[in-house]
Structure 1
């Protein structure tokens, strides 16, 4: 029987690489608002879902076991404390924090049955705040707390945070100008998740930081733009 993986944000820049990698060894339930874009892919079942609009009654597949759950859905827009309003905070908190908490809660029986692994995609912003990106940073700080709390409460489930730095995705394209060769390729994030999933039975990789070979600030200081 195939192992089972569930991935949110499956049609995003990282999501497609994550499901492609996991589908080599798992049957992947790929959750996304544009699930039709995944039709016909081998070993993948697309699941059309809006994690925010449907959060009170999420139409998740009924699964007896889940070996891997990856939370890749996220959003980010530039806001400072001064410019942000309550609706702006809610929009990012709902997708970046509330949705992974609720999806995890609903899938806990299946994760427990499999002794599964939960992977939260975090960010460098989860450890450092920014004046013009304060909401996103706050949500990623909260996501660390969610991951750590889940690990303490569920000792039979492995819980990992994979935190990439700037990655070549549509979300980053909406935040800044950059050279794709200077940031992380999404496939490298998928490889980091694979390392977490394939960790031996006596261990868990609780946090994996994925950084560019040369940090953007360092690159600028060295005049390598």
Structure 2
């Protein structure tokens, strides 16, 4: 069975992706140790993979035992809602560290394993990675950078498949925080389900090997 490593797998879109891939892949659920991550792993018969995207030495050590890896899903992300004039350099640094620099470090560490398997790297990006969103200055900038990273990886590593998935608003805790910042009333029915995004990711990964999906854009109806 092929192996898939998913970052930020403890909840939201990450756990939904894990559930969608569980029938076809051995799962490595990456994230900081938590009861929530353990619960997802126990439910799916998966393996937890302790990971802190801000710890480059830890990333390299964790990746060393992996010889081949068919799928890497960059799902972990952080957002600090706020207009530009409300933001701080520390918030920008945090967004870029988790949304860009961490995925770069992890991909570099896993590149030999991905090359060996002619693997697939999937980035869970955002609509904010295509059009900057008001009140999400740092997050939008980091997601634009993540898209450029994916495009560069695709150009420089032609033996890999690299896909950026750009969902619109999804019913997650991050979305609840954003709506609270906006002063709105949270209505889950207005947003994409995490399971819907996960099914799209699973379908992209299942694409026959003669095809390469570069980008997927999906919005709530």
Tell me the residue number matched to 1:55. 56
Confirm or deny: 8 A CA contact 2:51 2:58 kept in the other structure: no
The RMSD of aligned alpha carbons is: 1.3
Name the CA distance, whole Å, in 2 between partners of 1:27 and 1:48: 16
Unaligned runs of 5+ in 1: 214-225
Tell me the residue number matched to 1:171. 174
Question: Taking structure 2 as the reference length, what is the TM-score of the superposition?
Answer: 0.91
Runs of 4+ in 1 over 3 A off after TM superposition: none
Question: Counterpart of 1:199 in 2: which secondary structure?
Answer: coil
Unaligned runs of 5+ in 2: 180-184
Tell me the residue number matched to 1:221. none
Name the CA distance, whole Å, in 1 between partners of 2:146 and 2:11: 19
Deviation at 1:39, TM superposition (A): 4.2
Pairing of 1:23-42 with structure 2 (within 5 A): 23-33=22-32, 34=34, 35-42=37-44
Confirm or deny: 8 A CA contact 1:12 1:73 kept in the other structure: no
- CA deviation profile, 1:28-85 (whole Å, cap 9, x unmatched): 1000122333342344101222222x23431424211111100000111212221222
Tell me the residue number matched to 1:217. none
Tell me the residue number matched to 1:15. 14
Tell me the residue number matched to 2:4. 5
Tell me the residue number matched to 2:182. none
Number of corresponding residues: 211
Name the CA distance, whole Å, in 1 between partners of 2:16 and 2:107: 21
Question: Counterpart of 1:189 in 2: which secondary structure?
Answer: helix
1:116 aligns with 2:101: no
Name the CA distance, whole Å, in 2 between partners of 1:86 and 1:40: 39
